[in-house]
Structure 1
Amino acid sequence: MRRVSCGAYIASTAVVCGAVALGDEVTVWFQAVIRGDDAPISIGAQTNIQDGCVVHCDAGVALEIGARCTIGHGAIVHGAKIGDDVLIGMGATLLGGSIIGDGAVVAAGSVVRQGMEVPPNMLVAGVPAKIMREVSDKERAFIAYAVPHYIETAEGYLPEDS
């Protein structure tokens, strides 16, 4: 793990290339790929991009991920816009033009189809994803817990002289 000049942490086997802007204390974990070669990608402060994620965009369409988001292991985010304080579950897929509102949760393994808009504070699940209910207090608490947890974990990977 290394800390880069923008204040983000990037694992040794992660790939970040092209027009990618990382906010302060973003963590990009092992085997994650963030490719801003077709359009710019911006990732807000304190968001964690977990192991094996792929973040990429459609040609000419910017991709945005808000602050304090958790993008779970193996998720694919392709050409989407994600608000703040969002949880994208492990193995979920977000297709081009999808919009995920602030505080929303996309359940593990779900496929958010092209152009779908998920309202703020709603949970979606399934293939294709459907709106199921409002996000629970327990789910909100997990999102809040994950933010400092992944930053602290990343700091534990830093060389002692950094």
Structure 2
Amino acid sequence: MTPAERFPWATILPFEGVWPEIHETAFVAPGARIIGDVTLGPQASVWYNCVLRGDIHRIEVGARSNVQDGGVFHVEGPRPDTDGCPTIIGEDCVIGHMAVVHGCTVEDRGFVGMGAVAMDDSRIGEGAMLAAGALLGPGRHIPPREIWVGRPAKFLKTQSEAQVEKIRFQTERYCRLAEKHLAELRGASKG
């Protein structure tokens, strides 16, 4: 069964002959649009009305990571001065509602807050957080476990291990929520 058949309520399309690759345990919600060179790992979830457009470079969402409602992922394609910037999301990451992630890397257990923007060639380190509403400009890097806030984003503080564990809790919660939403959607489609 193809991803488009598994998730008939979403828009899953090829671009230039490249179809998204969606792990059999991943979840894609109604209204989501996943186009082209996009890979969703085990138990990854893409929620209502998200757009992941892998047309000029690739997008990868790692195991158990979630892209919450209204999130927009795109990439920067090759130019004369660069090979471009894919969007790479590690494992156990949280991407908050309405976040825009463009040609950025989010390392394992990274967190992008609601309404935040991460731009080309930026990087959010392992267990680090870009706070809600923050803007991480092109080429900026947040070191592991740091919290950055504001527009433009600036260092606020370093997270404790307990704070980083809260990110893992959120990803586990979203894995369970995805299973419940999928069960509801499948039940509704049979009725």
TM-score scaled by length of structure 1: 0.93
Q: How far, CA to CA, are the matches of 2:44 and 2:91 in structure 1? A: 9
- Aligned partner of 2:26 in structure 1 is 8
Q: How far, CA to CA, are the matches of 1:6 and 1:118 in structure 2? A: 32
Quick one: higher RCO (CA 8 Å, sep 6+), 1 or 2? 1
- Quote how far apart the aligned CAs of 1:48 are: 0.3
| Residue 50 (structure 2) pairs with residue 32 (structure 1) | yes
| Residue 137 (structure 2) pairs with residue 119 (structure 1) | no
User: Which residues of structure 1 form unaligned runs of 5+?
Assistant: none
Aligned to 2:98, what secondary structure does the other structure show?
A: coil
Aligned to 2:36, what secondary structure does the other structure show?
A: strand
- Aligned partner of 2:100 in structure 1 is 76
- The structure number with the bigger radius of gyration is 2
- Aligned partner of 1:53 in structure 2 is 71
- Quote how far apart the aligned CAs of 1:157 are: 1.4
- Aligned partner of 2:180 in structure 1 is 156
1:23-78 CA deviation, whole Å, 9 max, x = no partner?
Answer: 10000000010010110111110000000000000113222110000000000000
Q: Which range moves more in the overlay, 47-56 or 129-138?
A: 129-138
Greater than 3 Å deviation, 4+ residue runs = 1-6
Contact 1:6 1:22 in 2 (8 A): no
Letter in 1 for 2:54: G
| Residue 47 (structure 2) pairs with residue 23 (structure 1) | no
- Quote how far apart the aligned CAs of 1:136 are: 3.2
Aligned to 1:21, what secondary structure does the other structure show?
A: strand
| Residue 87 (structure 2) pairs with residue 87 (structure 1) | no
**11 and 122 in structure 1: CA distance in 2 versus 1, 3 angstrom threshold:** same
Q: How far, CA to CA, are the matches of 1:91 and 1:5 in structure 2? A: 27
| Residue 62 (structure 2) pairs with residue 44 (structure 1) | yes
How many residue pairs get matched? 162
Of all paired residues, the percent bearing the same amino acid is: 36
Q: Which has the higher strand share?
A: 1
Q: Which has the higher helix share?
A: 2
